[in-house]
Amino acid sequence: MLVLGIETSCDESGVALYDSSERRLLAHALHSQIAMHQDYGGVVPELASRDHIRRVLPLIDDVLAKARQPVRAIAAIGYTEGPGLAGALLVGAGIAHGLAMSLACPVLGIHHLEGHLLSPLLSEDPPEFPFVALLVSGGHTQLMHVRAVGRYELLGETLDDAAGEAFDKTAQLLGLGYPGGPQIARLAQSGIAGSVTLPRPMLRSGNLDFSFSGLKTAVMTAVKRHGMAGPTEKAKADIARGFEDAIVDVLVAKSLAALQLTGLTRLVVAGGVGANSRLRGALIAALEARDARVFFPELVWCTDNGAMIAFAAALRFEAGEKGEAGAHPFGVRPRWPLSELSL
């Protein structure tokens, strides 16, 4: 069965075609809006929605051409129903339902974070269930106990800023561009570890929750210490390194605590922050020392993409979910807790 996946939750338009019979991805295409939003220092929802309207249909044509499949070969469609920007989600939902109606095939709304959570299963060496998942992105930082597709238990989450959001805000404080994660990571490479010490929020809280707003405030204080002239490039690099080390220390410590709590030895890391090389290195070393293992999606699947939505939809259809007819009334869920999912 060929499953088309459509992702339009924020600032990336992603489309992919997955063959559930052969269990392989046939083709995918992605358009990023980063360049369009950079001048504003973040995503402008109205611009994001309008750009999705322009991009999704050509991306579908592109994916079908790469896969050498006619549109009538599509047997089912999955789209991101939430969470995300309401207008952006509606674009993908409208296209998915309209196409499903024309093809008389089922359509299924997919949780954006479930797509991220399952994306490491697209790799050549996928993890087995059950596992602990660390979801770290621009809008979410959560630890989940994953028993199977649709069986998720929330272990802990951020009480304020997500890790990716903290990266973006720190980048703004340091005069860097958007998105902040890659900018901070590049600058931190030339920073000296320990030269700027920043707090590790909730490191010893006794639970698996996170908080990063105080870390952002600490960065603001460090920047202000340099007065009107602002920090030098060397000082900026040291602050970036101190910030990155603080984020990594907290994420690693909480992930290890989650593994200990559940008694599991497999950790899956998903979401944009999962591309950070310092985080990857620290988690690999920490888990190897405890005879455990960490799984990452390939870098191309760390950001939002259509492949993870097509794959999640294929797994749900395989598990017996029927989806809806294309003509069925539809809506989107900008706020949608992952813990509400089931099969």
Instruction: For residues 55 and 93, give the distance between their C-alpha atoms in angstroms, rounded to a whole number.
Output: 14
User: Rg of the chain's alpha carbons, rounded to an integer?
Assistant: 20
pLDDT given for residue 341 in this prediction = 87
Cα 228 to its chain centre, rounded Å, is: 37
pLDDT given for residue 43 in this prediction = 93
Q: Among candidates 11, 24, 22, which has minimal Cα distance to 310?
A: 24
Q: Among candidates 105, 129, 96, 103, which has minimal Cα distance to 16?
A: 96
pLDDT given for residue 327 in this prediction = 66
pLDDT tens column, 119-140:
999 998 999 999 999 999 888 8
SS3 state at 155: strand
What is each CA distance from 201 to 242, 244, 249, 289, in whole angstroms?
Answer: 13, 13, 10, 24
Q: Among candidates 111, 175, 110, 113, which has minimal Cα distance to 138?
A: 113
**pTM for the whole thing?**
0.93
Instruction: For residues 84 and 73, give the distance between their C-alpha atoms in angstroms, rounded to a whole number.
Output: 29
The length of the chain, given as a count of residues: 343
Q: How confident is the model at residue 228 (pLDDT cuts 50, 70, 90)?
A: low
Flag whether pLDDT at 230 surpasses 90.
no
Flag whether pLDDT at 272 surpasses 70.
yes
Of 43-52, 312-321, 333-342, least confident by mean pLDDT is 333-342
pLDDT given for residue 39 in this prediction = 84
What is each CA distance from 29 to 4, 13, 92, 216, 305, in whole angstroms?
Answer: 12, 8, 15, 35, 8
Sorted by where each starts, the structural domains of the chain and their CATH numbers stand as 2-118+302-340 (3.30.420.40), 129-296 (3.30.420.40)
Instruction: Check if the beta carbon of residue 188 is closer than 8 Å to that of residue 278.
Output: yes
Write down the residue that tokens 């709590």 correspond to: 261
Flag whether pLDDT at 229 surpasses 80.
no
Over residues 211-238, mean pLDDT: 91
Instruction: Check if the beta carbon of residue 270 is closer than 8 Å to that of residue 260.
Output: no
Instruction: For residues 312 and 329, give the distance between their C-alpha atoms in angstroms, rounded to a whole number.
Output: 22
- AA identity, residue 210: F
Which residues make beta-bridge pairs with 27?
Answer: 17
Mean pLDDT of the residues in the chain: 95
pLDDT given for residue 66 in this prediction = 98
Q: How confident is the model at residue 186 (pLDDT cuts 50, 70, 90)?
A: very high
Instruction: For residues 208 and 251, give the distance between their C-alpha atoms in angstroms, rounded to a whole number.
Output: 10
Over residues 148-152, mean pLDDT: 94
pLDDT tens column, 280-295:
999 999 999 999 999 9
Of 83-97, 225-239, 310-324, least confident by mean pLDDT is 225-239
Q: How many other CB atoms sit within 10 Å of the CB of residue 170?
A: 28
Instruction: Check if the beta carbon of residue 146 is closer than 8 Å to that of residue 117.
Output: yes
Instruction: For residues 214 and 161, give the distance between their C-alpha atoms in angstroms, rounded to a whole number.
Output: 9
- Residues 6 or more apart from 206 whose CB is under 8 A from it? none
Query: String of b and e for 239-252 (b: at least 16 CB within 10 Å)?
Result: bbbbbbbbbbebbb
Complete DSSP assignment for 124-146: SSPPPSSEEEEEESSS-EEEEEE
Over residues 181-204, mean pLDDT: 95
Over residues 180-196, mean pLDDT: 95
Complete DSSP assignment for 30-55: EEE-HHHHGGGTS--HHHHHHHHHHH
